[in-house]
Amino acid sequence: MRILGIDPGTRITGYGVIDVEGNRLLHVDNGIVSTRSSDPLANRLKTIYDGLQQVIETYQPVEMSIEQVFLAKNPRSALTLGHARGTAMLAGVNAELPVSEYSALQVKSAVVGYGHAGKHQVQQMVKALLNLPEIAQEDAADALAVAICHANSRTLNQAIVQSGRR
């Protein structure tokens, strides 16, 4: 199963694509969609949408996961970040992908085992879990972490459902 993870942002939106084969997590690709801060917000959102649409078309994921907004430095930042999240979610929904949301605490717990882990710890664990030759760029590593969290959550949820059926 192929999962697309998204770390939304209006300046840089990270994406990470992984395959789940049994208990194995395999890295497919990761990267960023970047915008120019001098462009109007509507144009930046279009760039994010178009970039993610291209990623979806190229890699054909079957599910998408995205990080929830947890806080921002000020209300305006939170609002613009919300626009980026909505745009990313729209790209997924328009491609008929189920979209799951995870808090930063859930992502860090799933990847590092500690919900208050630092960025560098997350990057190191993503590198180790996916057997990457080097640490991915910060936003891309965060997106891969969201995809890993979703893969782990799916496995756990399936186990819970199966144990309830017995």
Question: In a 3-state reduction of DSSP, which class is residue 28?
Answer: strand
Alpha helices in the chain (DSSP H): 41-59, 75-94, 104-111, 119-129, 138-165
Residue of 46, 33, 123 whose CA lies nearest to 87:
46
Sign of CA dihedral 23, 67, 33, 87: positive
Which two three-digit tokens encode residue 2?
């192929």
CA distance 57 to 55: 5
Q: Are 41 and 11 in contact (CB under 8 A)?
A: no
Residue of 27, 28, 35, 128 whose CA lies nearest to 83:
35
CA distance 129 to 127: 6
Active-site residues, by number, are: 7, 67, 139
